């Protein structure tokens, strides 16, 4: 039995990037003479891409929508200057990637973060070597929850479909649109209760993921 490809979301699924995103937001706001937002509030803005993140920050602090292009560029510059200084890989995630790769699963990433930034962070954290495909929020004209980026990741891995691992409502919408089973990491950036998010299997530790995938596919790690 051939091992199907597995595509992972990045933020909140493989890595806890909220501290670096929060820090870049704080630097952006400081340049505007404003106080930083709490980390928990900034974390709640993650998931729909950089442009939406900045829109949500601006709404929270009362900045005019017309300033969005300028502030988006400033945020991206601040974030790209240090995208992995405070970011950490979730416990057990790299071991799970190693096990799944050893079992023959082609692995990819599908993120709403820009592709170049995603690659840089994965390289900084020593994870890039696990992946044969990286699709970012700017790789196609559409981004998640449109199914296009996920399907493109599967295509780059040589398949029409596969399995998807994510942590949020956006990932659930994406998986449903792509008719793909979602393995939901429950300690990421989701806002809704676990039972309110459509998923195939849920897990709270990456150490459990290889066994869950093996149960689904019959391919043993």
Query: Which CATH number does the domain housing residue 147 bear?
Result: 3.40.50.1000
* Residue 95 Cα to chain centre, angstroms: 18
Pairwise CA distance, residues 57 & 79, whole Å: 14
Q: Under DSSP, is residue 108 helix (H, G, I), strand (E, B) or coil?
A: strand
Specify the pLDDT at position 1: 59
Cis peptide before 61 (omega within 30 of 0): no
**At residue 107, what are phi and psi to the nearest 5 degrees?**
-115, 140
Contact by Cβ (8 Å): 48, 146: no
Pairwise CA distance, residues 14 & 89, whole Å: 6
In which residue are the tokens 């937001």 written? 25
The number of domains in the chain is 2
User: pTM of the prediction?
Assistant: 0.94
Contact by Cβ (8 Å): 157, 131: no
Max Cα–Cα distance, the chain, nearest Å: 59
Pairwise CA distance, residues 97 & 221, whole Å: 11
Q: Which residues pair with 164 in a beta bridge?
A: 7, 182
Whether 70 and 119 share a structural domain: no
Contact by Cβ (8 Å): 165, 188: no
First to last CA, the chain: 13
Retrieve residue 33's tokens. 């003479």
pLDDT grade for 219, boundaries at 50, 70 and 90: confident
Task: State pLDDT tens for residues 166-217.
Answer: 999 999 999 999 999 999 999 999 999 999 999 999 999 999 999 999 999 9
Q: Is residue 1 part of a domain?
A: no
Whether 99 and 74 share a structural domain: no
Q: Where does residue 105 rank: exposed (0-12), middle (13-18), buried (19+ CB within 10 A)?
A: buried
Boundaries of domain holding 178: 6-16+88-217
Average the pLDDT over 31-45 and give the result.
94
Task: State pLDDT tens for residues 5-37.
Answer: 999 999 999 999 999 999 999 999 999 999 999
Pairwise CA distance, residues 152 & 15, whole Å: 22
Q: Would you call 9 a catalytic residue per the annotation?
A: yes
Pairwise CA distance, residues 133 & 11, whole Å: 16
**186 C-beta neighbours (distance < 10 Å), count:** 14
Query: Which CATH number does the domain housing residue 61 bear?
Result: 1.10.150
Whether 108 and 141 share a structural domain: yes
User: Of 46, 81, 116, which residue is a domain's last?
Assistant: 81
């Amino acid at each position: 039995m051939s091992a199907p490809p597995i595509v992972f979301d990045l933020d909140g699924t493989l890595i806890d990037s909220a501290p670096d995103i929060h820090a870049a937001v704080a630097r952006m706001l400081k340049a505007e003479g404003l106080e930083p937002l709490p980390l928990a509030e900034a974390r709640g803005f993650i998931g729909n891409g950089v442009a939406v993140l900045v829109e949500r920050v601006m709404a929270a602090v009362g900045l005019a929508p017309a300033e969005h292009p300028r502030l988006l560029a400033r945020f991206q510059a601040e974030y790209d200057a240090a995208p992995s200084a405070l970011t950490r890989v979730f416990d057990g995630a790299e071991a799970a990637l190693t096990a799944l790769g050893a079992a023959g699963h082609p692995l990819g990433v599908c993120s709403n973060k820009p592709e170049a930034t995603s690659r840089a962070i994965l390289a900084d954290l020593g994870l890039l070597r696990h992946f044969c495909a990286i699709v970012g929020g700017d790789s196609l004209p559409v981004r998640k929850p449109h199914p296009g980026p996920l399907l493109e990741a599967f295509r780059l891995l040589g398949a029409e479909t596969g399995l998807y691992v994510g942590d949020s409502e956006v990932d659930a919408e994406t998986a449903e649109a792509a008719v793909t089973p979602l393995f939901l990491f429950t300690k990421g950036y989701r806002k809704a209760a676990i039972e309110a998010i459509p998923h195939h299997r849920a897990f709270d530790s990456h150490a459990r993921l290889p066994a869950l995938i093996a149960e689904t596919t019959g391919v043993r790690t």
